[in-house]
A and B are shown apart, each in its own frame.
Chain A
C-alpha cells in the first residue's frame, strides 16, 4: 500500500506518544503501542522512494528557479546549494527577489519552473514543489515573516502550542471529548514549549497576550515558534529589521546559539550587512532575480558585480 510522507510522520508521532504513555502505565497502553508500531512499519514499507539524491553535505538545492508574476521576472533562473549546518545569508538590493525565493522554498508561491530539493528530517530527499504549503513544516522547514505574523489573540505560550500543531495526533473526536490521550499529548508539547521559552529567555512573558507586546519580543516569539517544530532548516526573513544595535548584537548570538543547540541549518535574508558578514558562513548575492555571487562573506564583499549592484555603476570609467 502506498503511503505518503504525511501519513508516516503522523504514525511516527503516534508511536512516540504511545511509547511515552506506556512508560507511565504499561498495561493500559502496550497493546495500542504494538498496533501503532505495526502500522508505522507497514506505512514506512509502503513509502515510495523519491529517486532524488543530493550530495552528502548538502541539505537544500535550488536549481534553475524561476518565478514570474505576469511579465515581471521576480526570480529568473536562480541556482544555489545550502550545506548542512551552515548559516546561509541571502542578500541583494530591494526588490531583488529574496523574499520571493523564500516564498518559493516554503511553497507560499508555486514556482513557475525549477526544482527545490531538500533532505528532510528522516534523511529522504524530496522535491518541495510537490508539497502543499502546510506540509512543508513536516519535512523540517519553518520560517518567520518580514512583518511579524504572531497570533495576537492568544498568549505567548499558546503561540508556541500553535507552532506545535502538527505534533498533535489526536483526532477530532478525541479532541472534542478531551480524552486522556489528548491531555497527555498536550502535556508533552506544553513541556517542550516551556523549554523553548526558557531557551529564548521568554519565560516571563509566558502568559501574556501577544497583543501589545513590544516588537522585539514579537520577533523573538516568531523565532521561538520555529524551534517548536524539530527544525531542520530555519528560514528567517529579515530578523534584524526594526531592531536597534544592541538587539541586533543579541540576535547574532541567538542565531549562532540556535544553530549549535538545535543542530539545524539557518537560511536568512537580511539587509543589515554587519550582521550578515558577522554570522554567515556562506553568502549569496542576487539582483533582479539572478545570481550575482556566492561564497564566503569576504569573497562576496570583494565581488565587483555585487558592488555595482549595490552602489550603481559609475558612468565615467
Chain B
C-alpha cells in the first residue's frame, strides 16, 4: 500500500507525467463539450487562456531564471500574428510555413535587439523592448488595421484547423513547449541562468558567458511570444489592431503579472497565474455585468497583485503553495506521531 502510494507520488512529481495528465484533462473537457455537457464558450476561453500560458512560460525563463524583464512581449505577439496572416491568408501557405516564418522573424529581431541592449546592462532590455513593442504596434497597424484569416486557409498537414482542431493544436503546442522548458531548466542551461541572476561575477568566474545565456533566455521568450501570436490568429482568426488590447503594453504587463503572481521560478505557478489573470476574466467574469462595464477592473487588480507579490512574496503563489504544503506536512507528522504513540 505504502509502496504503491510512493510510486504514484514519484510518477506525479515527474514533469513529463504532470504535463501529460494536464493535457489529458483538458482534452477530455473538449470531448465533454462535444457531447454537449460543457458550454462551447467555456472551452473556447480555456483554449484562449492556454495561448497566453505558452507566452508566459517563455517569459518565466526570462524573468524567473535569468532575472531579466522585457516589455516587448506584445510586439512579438504582433509579429507572430501578422506573419500568420500574411503567410496563410495572403500567400495561402499551410500552417507549418507560417510557423517557420514566425520562428525566423522572431529569432532575427530578438537576437538583434537582445544583443544590442544586453551588451550594455540587463536593465536596458526592458526599455529597448518597450520601445520596440510600441513601434511595432504602430507599424503593424499602419500596414493593415484589421487582419482576418478565412477558416479554410488554416491547414496543418492538410487537416483543417477549425475551433476544435485549433484547441488540440494549442494543447499540443503548450505541452511540447512546457516540456522542453522544464527540461532546459533542469539542465546546465537553467542552472547557468540562475547563477547569472544571483551573481553575474560568480557566473563569469565559473565560465558562464553572460551574453550567451541572457540572449538565449530572451530569444526563447520572444519565440514563445511569437508562437503565441500565431496560435491566436489560428484560433481566433481575426484582430482589429486599433481597438484590440492584444498588441498594447497591457498585454506585456499582464504576462509579466501572470509570471510574477504565479511564481517566477515555477512553470506550473506561471500557468496558474495565467489562469488567474486571463482565465477568470474570460471564463467567468465576462458574464457578470459589472465586469462587462468595467473591463479594466481586472487590469487594476493585476497591478495591485504584482506590487504586493513583489513586496511580500517574491516566490508568488508557487511559494505560498510550497509553504502551505510544508505546514500541512508538519501538522500531519505531529498527528501521525500522536496516533503512533496511541497505538503503541
Residues of A within 8 A of B (CB): 106, 108, 132-138, 142-143, 145, 149-154, 158, 161-163, 165-166, 168, 170, 172, 175-178, 182, 186, 225, 229
Q: A161–B188 Cα gap in the complex (Å)?
A: 8
Q: How far is the CB of A228 from chain B (nearest CB, A)?
A: 8
CB-nearest residue of chain B to A143: B205
Interface residues of B in 115-133 (CB under 8 A from A): none
Say yes or no: B207 contacts A176, CB within 8 Å: no
| Interface CB pairs A-B, < 8 A, 20 | A106-B205, A133-B204, A136-B207, A137-B205, A145-B201, A145-B202, A145-B205, A153-B265, A154-B191, A154-B195, A161-B191, A163-B206, A165-B191, A165-B195, A165-B207, A165-B208, A172-B189, A175-B189, A176-B183, A178-B186
Residues of B within 8 A of A (CB): 180, 183-184, 186-189, 191-192, 194-195, 197-199, 201-210, 216, 265
Q: A176–B57 Cα gap in the complex (Å)?
A: 14
Say yes or no: A166 contacts B184, CB within 8 Å: no
Residues of A within 8 A of B205 (CB): 106, 133, 137, 142-143, 145, 149
Residues of A within 8 A of B265 (CB): 153
Residues of B within 8 A of A166 (CB): 206-207
Say yes or no: A162 contacts B206, CB within 8 Å: yes
CB-nearest residue of chain B to A152: B198
Q: A183–B30 Cα gap in the complex (Å)?
A: 37
Residues of B within 8 A of A154 (CB): 191, 194-195
Residues of B within 8 A of A135 (CB): 207
Say yes or no: B195 contacts A162, CB within 8 Å: yes
Residues of B within 8 A of A136 (CB): 207
CB-nearest residue of chain B to A132: B209
Q: How far is the CB of A187 from chain B (nearest CB, A)?
A: 13
Residues of A within 8 A of B194 (CB): 151, 153-154, 162
Q: A271–B203 Cα gap in the complex (Å)?
A: 26
> Of A149, A172, A177, which contacts B202 at CB under 8 A?
A149
Q: A165–B195 Cα gap in the complex (Å)?
A: 10
Say yes or no: A108 contacts B204, CB within 8 Å: yes
Given A149-B199, A162-B194, 13 more A-B residue pairs with CB atoms under 8 Å apart are A134-B204, A134-B209, A152-B198, A153-B197, A153-B265, A165-B208, A166-B206, A172-B184, A172-B216, A175-B187, A176-B180, A176-B183, A178-B183
> Of B184, B199, B209, which contacts A151 at CB under 8 A?
B199
Q: A186–B206 Cα gap in the complex (Å)?
A: 17
> Of A152, A165, A170, A182, which contacts B206 at CB under 8 A?
A165
Say yes or no: B202 contacts A151, CB within 8 Å: yes
Given contacts A134-B204, A143-B205, A165-B207, contact A175 B184 (CB under 8 A): yes
Residues of B within 8 A of A151 (CB): 194-195, 198-199, 202
Q: How far is the CB of B18 from chain A (nearest CB, A)?
A: 15
Residues of B within 8 A of A145 (CB): 201-202, 205
Q: How far is the CB of B302 from chain A (nearest CB, A)?
A: 25
Q: A108–B206 Cα gap in the complex (Å)?
A: 12
CB-nearest residue of chain A to B199: A149
> Of B183, B189, B210, which contacts A134 at CB under 8 A?
B210
CB-nearest residue of chain B to A169: B188
Residues of B within 8 A of A106 (CB): 205
Say yes or no: A137 contacts B183, CB within 8 Å: no
Say yes or no: A162 contacts B201, CB within 8 Å: no
Q: A145–B206 Cα gap in the complex (Å)?
A: 12
A-B CB proximity, top 8 nearest: A149-B202, A137-B207, A166-B207, A175-B187, A149-B199, A168-B188, A151-B198, A176-B180
Q: A177–B189 Cα gap in the complex (Å)?
A: 12
CB-nearest residue of chain B to A225: B206
Say yes or no: A162 contacts B191, CB within 8 Å: yes
Q: How far is the CB of A190 from chain B (nearest CB, A)?
A: 12
Say yes or no: A138 contacts B207, CB within 8 Å: yes
Say yes or no: B204 contacts A165, CB within 8 Å: no
Q: A152–B192 Cα gap in the complex (Å)?
A: 13
Residues of A within 8 A of B188 (CB): 161, 165, 168, 170, 175
Q: A133–B207 Cα gap in the complex (Å)?
A: 8
Q: A165–B265 Cα gap in the complex (Å)?
A: 20
Say yes or no: B191 contacts A108, CB within 8 Å: no
Q: A137–B195 Cα gap in the complex (Å)?
A: 16
Q: How far is the CB of B90 from chain A (nearest CB, A)?
A: 33
Q: How far is the CB of B220 from chain A (nearest CB, A)?
A: 10
Residues of A within 8 A of B201 (CB): 108, 145, 149
Most A CB contacts (10 A, CB to CB) among B188, B209, B210 go to B188
CB-nearest residue of chain B to A158: B191
Q: A196–B184 Cα gap in the complex (Å)?
A: 25
Q: How far is the CB of B68 from chain A (nearest CB, A)?
A: 15
Given contacts A134-B209, A138-B207, A161-B191, contact A176 B198 (CB under 8 A): no
Q: How far is the CB of B266 from chain A (nearest CB, A)?
A: 12
Say yes or no: B208 contacts A134, CB within 8 Å: yes
CB-nearest residue of chain A to B65: A153
Say yes or no: A165 contacts B192, CB within 8 Å: yes
Q: A163–B216 Cα gap in the complex (Å)?
A: 20
